[in-house]
Homo-oligomer: A and B are copies of this chain.
């Protein structure tokens, strides 16, 4: 399978090792590592780890953008970047003992003509994709309807488009009726304006999104698992208990597994199982990475129930 993973707000991820870190005072990082960052980049890495092909698309600009794209090329990621004048943002991940502190910057301003070029680039790259995902935040201030153009451009050649974003961007992207939505409980709660704290509510939320016009909706609940709804019904999955090292990137690995499972024509429960196992496998690593052997093992240990009655 060939996946096009779109990250509008590409970042440099700087991971700093700072023993004993706390807020306040001056700290000296023991080491710093730099990779190309953003949710779609994590999805692309997970797609590749699962044995498939991924191309990264996104807006990149300035010296930060060049650093990010060079880092992506150095680790072998295929790409179809769209250059902009603004400086790509930096995300800081401070690792101290087993705990991570993440600080995400808002990202650069994007001009209307830059966004138009991005939409055209995505449309072109989507022509050879079997699935497309749109992940993470929008840089600077993007006029609400601009995301609709992006979702439509991604879908133009018929590949299913999956959306994983939050807040206003999620609301607007949902209005463009993408094929699928992958959100966590907080994001789903904000979208539907109701609290989502357990399986039953997650399943109902996913079913509501399908009733509202998307083909597949998933709502993740962290270590508790996830719910998936589609025309055939609603399923819930529970991964085995595991010793999580870092959940950063687990949602992105989940989406990679979901796109691949769905693209293979698996039954909904099999796609949800692969997605849940990929998300769980990511939690075993300190950074956003998965090991396919972990996915296979955790998939066998994941419990999937359904179709269930939601709501």
In this complex, the member of A16, A30, A70 whose beta carbon has the largest number of chain B beta carbons within 10 angstroms is: A16
Tell me if A27 and B103 are in contact (CB < 8 A). yes
Sort chain A's interface into a size bin. Answer: 35 or more
User: What residues of chain B lie closer than 8 Å to A30, measured between beta carbons?
Assistant: 106
Given A34-B87, A87-B34: A104 in contact with B27 (beta carbons within 8 A): yes
Q: Residue-by-residue, is A10-26 near B (CB-CB < 8 Å gives 1, otherwise 0)? A: 00001010100111111
User: What residues of chain B lie closer than 8 Å to A99, measured between beta carbons?
Assistant: 23-24
User: What residues of chain B lie closer than 8 Å to A103, measured between beta carbons?
Assistant: 16, 18, 21, 27-29, 92, 94
A67 interface residue, CB < 8 Å from B? yes
A-B contact pairs, 13 of them (CB 8 A): A18-B103, A21-B23, A21-B103, A23-B23, A23-B101, A27-B104, A28-B106, A29-B106, A32-B106, A62-B67, A63-B63, A63-B66, A90-B90
Tell me if A32 and B105 are in contact (CB < 8 A). yes
Contacts A23-B101, A26-B248, A90-B90 aside, 15 further interface pairs with beta carbons under 8 A come to A16-B103, A18-B103, A21-B23, A22-B23, A24-B99, A24-B100, A24-B101, A26-B104, A27-B103, A29-B103, A29-B106, A34-B87, A62-B67, A63-B67, A67-B87
User: What residues of chain B lie closer than 8 Å to A21, measured between beta carbons?
Assistant: 23, 103
Residues 90 to 149 of chain A near chain B (Cβ within 8 Å): 90, 92, 94, 96, 99-106
Tell me if A26 and B102 are in contact (CB < 8 A). yes
